[in-house]
């Protein structure tokens, strides 16, 4: 095996043949899973250098260290206690001869040793034992520092594979119990090595302090009484340790935040010691601006200081004006990604300012004024913007969006008039320099900032908004991007326009021109037209005649998204028209669409037409008096033969069926439902049943769910709709049996949505629905067992949770009054399958097939099962735990004790801990969820 191992490693790292390398990689992956890997990895790491393989052993040792680390993380539970102790001693012995090991191998072995400290509770004093073994010799001191560095990092990475109680215990015993002593030792070592000949050791010491500071376990008094704050500020001038030093200082401020807020002695000491040094370090902080990593650590430091001092800043802004100035100045750093961490600070400061009565708000106002100017400058398009990748352009767009939120914070502090005035001043400066090639970038950035406060426009001085709006026509002619920004701004200010209709004509003219621009301008024009119609539909009724020819042109020329915006805009205007005019308007704007429903047309054309019709039906929802015809249902009556015609040809064409289902679904709203006639509903149900029987497309079930939800409360429709659901169930079951569970996942998902709806609307009828209920439970359990789609699994769990909830003993009296014996139903229908349901539910959770939104359903299924079947619950749990081979017998017993507590103690926290424990053990032992994401410095 050793020879094969060396050959595989040599091939993986040395061969040029990709096929051979992949084969070697596969062999090594399989080898790592074997029991022999323990011995081979240990032997390779323990062997002296040289020998027949010479220097070629170095890659083999590095890979062996990785194997050993992975084996400790995944398979340590398979070893006996004696073997674990022997392995631990072996790793310590390997680390005691670091000359044999590459630095990367040292890191891997230290991680393995740290994992043993974390996951072997019987090892009661790992830090002191490793200190005794590795911390007493100068030549081993770097190795000892590596162990101390990775221990907190590995514990943080292991949090997701431990229960809360386990993590708290390990944090207390490994970190908190040792933090003060380790910290004092590290600081002492730093003080003794400030002028050490080996700068790498200095770097390692700072990295180790950083790792322990990140735990927030070091007492603040110990930090204040040490020299770490002063040494860290001194270290900001050293490129080797500046980032670690900044991280240490950030952690100090994070830890001190509550003490600073409550003005404790330690908190006051941090402010008195650290804040002057931070202000004095401003030149160093600004020097880091051009290097992204350095800038990120410095911005993090300044932000941490600002957050820690939020309360004092709001209470005594004059005293903290230098910190505010520094926080504002870093916002001008050129690497925009590093500024994301500042946005929450500005929002929190804004909230704090509003909560406090400021004695002198001048520093706050001054800071936000400077901040506003910087924000708008940062929104400028770079000169090389067109050369950026699509991802970089998307990131810049996201950044501007978040910057817009900070502009809103400025508006909250300064007032909308001050922000608008500043924007107008900047516009004046930019237009005065319009001869320069960059002027349009300045104008566009100002418009981007101004649109962020559009929702405040109605609170502003109308004259300020007027000046901005009146300037738009001239500005938008400068450049296509300025045109786009102006169009978006008009949309953002459409609520203001509603109260100032004198600008409606101007805006309509600018939007009309926008449709002649580039692709982005067309999209902005369409979206803005929709916003204007939505906010000012009655006012825009005067333009309906002018819109008609444009509308017809748009249907044939615009992409789907933009055409839908135009259709929605027209629909809002129709929806606000007098009811008497609606049939004529629908005839005018919808009939051209209906006439395009020719089955011979290309599928994309049919899809777009159906989506546009669906938008009209979704948007036009007038209040119609009882007994009066509903214009939308009249439109659907006229549309129905066309829908039948295209379905006759395209029943199995997904884009077409999706479009038809949207059209029908959008009629099932509060406006239309009271006006549905019996014939219209029967026609709809017949269509859904026929189409689903023919195609098994899930979109028909989506519509059917809404039909059941909206009409099954009417007694005359209960029996027909239950029969309808039974038909759909039979078709779904036949599809799953014929095509397989994975192929039917969407259909199963929608079908169980219908089951849950019926159970919620007609619980007594559903529970008494024999033998259909029996068949549904068996079918649903099979579906849960075989489903691998998390969304489908979630729908199935939701259904079972709802079913058990209705069968709960507390609900029995209410059902008994309706003549339904739910105790008998639970015993006859659910009891034969309840143990299996528990096991499958746990298996899906373990396999990571349960989304976070369904975690509570898992808990409720367990809880309700225990309360409905108390005598059988513990034996069922015993059976379930026996299914999981990765659990030891001792673990099964402890988990069973947690499950059993749900009955006498109603302790759901113990059940939650048990489920989490099973999931975490599986993750750890299958190799998932154990990789640390920490940054390593070698």
Nearest C-alpha neighbor of 812 from the set 827, 800, 797, 792? 827
Provide the percentage of residues in the chain whose pLDDT is more than 70: 96
749-778 average pLDDT score: 95
Instruction: Decide if pLDDT at 617 tops 90.
Output: yes
Instruction: Give the pLDDT confidence score for residue 436 in this predicted structure.
Output: 64
Query: Measured between alpha carbons, how far is 376 from 400 in angstroms, rounded to an integer?
Result: 9
pLDDT band of residue 867 (cuts 50, 70, 90) is: very high
On average, the pLDDT of the chain sits at 92
Instruction: Decide if pLDDT at 935 tops 70.
Output: no
Instruction: Decide if pLDDT at 936 tops 70.
Output: no
Burial 654-686 (b: 16+ CB within 10 A, else e): eebbbbbbbbbbbbbeebbbebbeeebbeebbe
Instruction: Give the pLDDT confidence score for residue 356 in this predicted structure.
Output: 67
Instruction: Give the pLDDT confidence score for residue 934 in this predicted structure.
Output: 33
Query: Measured between alpha carbons, how far is 559 from 306 in angstroms, rounded to an integer?
Result: 48
Estimate the crossing angle of helix 57-75 against helix 103-119, to 10 degrees.
Answer: 10
3-22 average pLDDT score: 90
Instruction: Decide if pLDDT at 929 tops 90.
Output: no
Instruction: Give the pLDDT confidence score for residue 15 in this predicted structure.
Output: 87
Nearest C-alpha neighbor of 688 from the set 735, 647, 629, 633? 647
Instruction: Decide if pLDDT at 51 tops 80.
Output: no
Estimate the crossing angle of helix 265-280 against helix 292-308, to 10 degrees.
Answer: 140
Angstrom distances, CA of residue 187 to CA of 144, 179, 238, 377: 15, 12, 17, 43
pLDDT in tens, 220-241: 999 999 999 999 999 999 888 9
pLDDT band of residue 1 (cuts 50, 70, 90) is: low
Instruction: Decide if pLDDT at 611 tops 80.
Output: yes
Nearest C-alpha neighbor of 279 from the set 223, 340, 236? 236
Query: Measured between alpha carbons, how far is 890 from 876 in angstroms, rounded to an integer?
Result: 18
Query: Measured between alpha carbons, how far is 170 from 155 in angstroms, rounded to an integer?
Result: 8
Instruction: Give the pLDDT confidence score for residue 937 in this predicted structure.
Output: 32
Query: Measured between alpha carbons, how far is 151 from 132 in angstroms, rounded to an integer?
Result: 16
- Alpha helices, DSSP H only, in 787-907? 790-806, 812-816, 822-825, 831-846, 855-868, 870-881, 889-900
Instruction: Give the pLDDT confidence score for residue 379 in this predicted structure.
Output: 95
Instruction: Decide if pLDDT at 933 tops 50.
Output: no
Instruction: Give the pLDDT confidence score for residue 55 in this predicted structure.
Output: 52
pLDDT in tens, 688-726: 999 999 999 999 999 999 999 999 999 999 999 999 999
Computed from CA positions of residues 276, 279, 285, 287, in that sequence, does the dihedral angle turn out positive or negative? negative
pLDDT band of residue 627 (cuts 50, 70, 90) is: confident
Instruction: Give the pLDDT confidence score for residue 932 in this predicted structure.
Output: 39
- The region of weakest confidence among 98-107, 305-314, 702-711 is 98-107
pLDDT in tens, 420-475: 999 999 999 888 876 667 789 999 999 999 999 999 999 999 999 999 999 999 99
Contact 356, 416 (CB under 8 A): no
pLDDT in tens, 796-838: 999 999 999 999 999 999 999 999 999 999 999 999 999 999 9
Nearest C-alpha neighbor of 898 from the set 851, 853, 842? 842
Rg of the chain's alpha carbons, rounded to an integer? 35
Instruction: Give the pLDDT confidence score for residue 125 in this predicted structure.
Output: 94
Q: Which residue has the higher pLDDT, 773 or 194?
A: 773
Angstrom distances, CA of residue 689 to CA of 388, 646, 662, 686, 772: 52, 17, 16, 5, 18
536-555 average pLDDT score: 91
pLDDT band of residue 56 (cuts 50, 70, 90) is: low
pLDDT band of residue 315 (cuts 50, 70, 90) is: confident
- The 3-class SS string of 304-325 reads HHHHHCHHHHHHCCCCCHHHHH
Its pTM stands at 0.86
- The region of weakest confidence among 244-248, 310-314, 566-570 is 310-314
259-272 average pLDDT score: 95
pLDDT band of residue 634 (cuts 50, 70, 90) is: very high
Q: Which residue has the higher pLDDT, 920 or 667?
A: 667
pLDDT in tens, 164-206: 888 999 999 999 999 999 999 999 999 887 555 577 888 999 9
pLDDT band of residue 57 (cuts 50, 70, 90) is: confident
Instruction: Give the pLDDT confidence score for residue 438 in this predicted structure.
Output: 77
Instruction: Decide if pLDDT at 53 tops 50.
Output: no
pLDDT band of residue 354 (cuts 50, 70, 90) is: confident
Contact 326, 285 (CB under 8 A): yes
Query: Measured between alpha carbons, how far is 685 from 693 in angstroms, rounded to an integer?
Result: 12
Polymer length of the chain: 938
Instruction: Decide if pLDDT at 252 tops 50.
Output: yes
């Amino acid at each position: 095996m050793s020879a094969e191992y060396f050959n595989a490693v040599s091939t993986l790292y040395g061969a040029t043949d990709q096929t051979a390398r992949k084969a070697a990689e596969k062999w090594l992956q399989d080898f790592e899973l074997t029991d022999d890997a323990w011995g081979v990895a240990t032997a390779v790491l323990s062997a002296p250098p040289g020998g027949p393989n010479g220097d070629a052993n170095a890659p083999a040792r590095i890979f062996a260290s990785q194997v050993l680390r992975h084996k400790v993380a995944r398979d340590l539970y398979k070893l006996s206690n004696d073997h674990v102790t022997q392995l631990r001693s072996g790793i310590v012995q390997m680390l005691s001869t670091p000359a044999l090991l590459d630095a990367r191998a040292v890191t891997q072995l230290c991680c393995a040793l740290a994992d043993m400290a974390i996951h072997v509770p019987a090892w009661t004093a790992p830090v002191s034992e490793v200190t005794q073994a590795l911390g007493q010799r100068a030549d081993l001191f770097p190795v000892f520092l590596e162990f101390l560095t990775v221990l907190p990092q590995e514990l943080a990475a292991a949090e997701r594979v431990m229960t809360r109680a386990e993590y708290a215990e390990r944090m207390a015993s490994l970190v908190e119990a040792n933090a003060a002593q380790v910290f004092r030792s590290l600081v002492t070592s730093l003080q003794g090595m400030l002028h050490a000949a080996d700068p790498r050791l200095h770097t390692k010491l700072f990295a180790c302090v950083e790792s322990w500071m990140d735990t927030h376990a070091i007492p603040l008094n110990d930090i204040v009484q040490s020299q770490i704050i002063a040494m860290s500020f001194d270290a900001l001038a050293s490129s080797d340790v500046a980032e670690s030093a900044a991280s240490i200082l950030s952690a100090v401020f994070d830890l001190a935040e509550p003490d600073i807020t409550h003005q404790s002695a330690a908190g006051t000491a941090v402010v008195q010691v650290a804040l002057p040094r931070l202000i004095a370090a401003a030149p160093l902080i600004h020097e880091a601006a051009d290097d992204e990593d350095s800038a990120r650590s410095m911005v993090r430091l300044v932000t941490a200081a600002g957050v820690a001092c939020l309360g004092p800043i709001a209470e005594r802004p004059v005293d903290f004006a230098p910190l505010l100035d520094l926080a504002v100045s870093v916002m001008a750093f050129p690497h925009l990604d590093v500024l994301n961490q500042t946005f929450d600070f500005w929002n929190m400061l804004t909230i704090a300012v509003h909560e406090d009565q400021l004695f002198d708000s001048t520093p706050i106002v001054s800071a936000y004024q400077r901040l506003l100017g910087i924000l708008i400058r940062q929104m400028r398009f770079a000169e090389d913007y067109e050369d950026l990748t699509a991802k970089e352009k998307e990131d810049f767009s996201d950044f501007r969006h978040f910057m817009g939120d900070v502009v809103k914070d400025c508006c909250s502090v300064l007032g909308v008039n001050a922000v608008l005035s500043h924007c107008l001043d900047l516009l004046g400066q930019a237009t005065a320099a319009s001869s320069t090639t960059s002027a349009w970038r300045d104008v566009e950035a100002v418009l981007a900032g101004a649109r962020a406060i559009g929702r405040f426009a109605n609170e502003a001085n109308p004259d300020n908004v007027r000046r901005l709006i009146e300037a738009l026509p001239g500005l938008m002619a400068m450049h296509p991007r300025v045109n786009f920004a102006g169009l978006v701004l008009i949309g953002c200010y459409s609520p203001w326009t509603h109260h100032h209709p004198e600008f409606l004509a101007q805006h309509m003219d600018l939007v009309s021109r926008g449709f002649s621009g580039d692709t982005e301008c067309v999209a902005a024009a369409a979206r803005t037209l929709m916003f204007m119609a939505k906010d000012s539909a009655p006012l825009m009724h005067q333009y309906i005649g002018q819109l008609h020819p444009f509308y017809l042109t748009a249907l044939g020329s615009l992409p789907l998204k933009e055409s839908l915006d135009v259709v929605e805009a027209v629909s809002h205007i129709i929806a606000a028209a007098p009811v008497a005019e609606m049939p004529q308007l629908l005839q005018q704007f919808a009939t051209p669409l209906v006439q395009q429903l020719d089955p011979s047309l290309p599928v994309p054309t049919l899809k777009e037409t159906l989506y546009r019709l669906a938008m009209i039906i979704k948007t036009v929802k007038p209040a119609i008096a009882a007994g009066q015809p509903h214009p939308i249902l009249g439109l659907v009556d006229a549309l129905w033969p066309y829908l039948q015609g295209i379905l006759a040809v395209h029943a199995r064409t997904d884009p077409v069926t999706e479009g038809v289902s949207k059209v029908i679904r959008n009629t099932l709203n509060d406006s239309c439902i009271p006006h549905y006639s019996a014939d219209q509903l029967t026609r709809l149900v017949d269509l859904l049943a026929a189409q689903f029987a023919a195609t098994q497309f899930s979109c028909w079930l989506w519509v059917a769910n809404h039909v059941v939800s909206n009409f099954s409360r009417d007694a005359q429709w209960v029996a027909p709709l239950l029969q309808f659901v039974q038909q759909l169930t039979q078709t779904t079951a036949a599809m799953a049996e014929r095509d397989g569970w994975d192929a039917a996942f969407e259909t199963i998902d929608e079908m169980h949505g219908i089951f849950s709806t019926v159970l919620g609307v007609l619980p007594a009828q559903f529970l008494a629905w024999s033998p259909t209920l029996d068949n549904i439970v068996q079918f649903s359990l099979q579906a849960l067992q075989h489903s691998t789609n998390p969304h489908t699994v979630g729908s199935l769990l939701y259904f079972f949770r709802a079913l058990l909830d209705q069968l709960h003993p507390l609900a029995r009296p209410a059902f008994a009054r309706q003549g339904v014996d739910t105790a008998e139903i639970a015993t006859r229908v659910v009891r034969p399958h309840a143990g299996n349901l528990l096991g499958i539910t746990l298996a899906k959770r373990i396999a990571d097939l349960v989304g976070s939104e369904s975690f509570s359903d898992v808990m409720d299924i367990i809880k309700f099962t225990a309360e409905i079947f108390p005598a059988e619950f513990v034996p069922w749990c015993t059976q379930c735990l026996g299914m999981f081979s990765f659990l030891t017998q001792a673990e099964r017993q402890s988990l069973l004790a947690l499950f059993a507590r749900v009955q006498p103690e109603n302790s759901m926290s113990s059940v939650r801990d048990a489920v989490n424990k099973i999931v975490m053990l599986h993750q750890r032992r299958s190799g998932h969820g154990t990789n640390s994401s920490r940054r390593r410095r070698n």
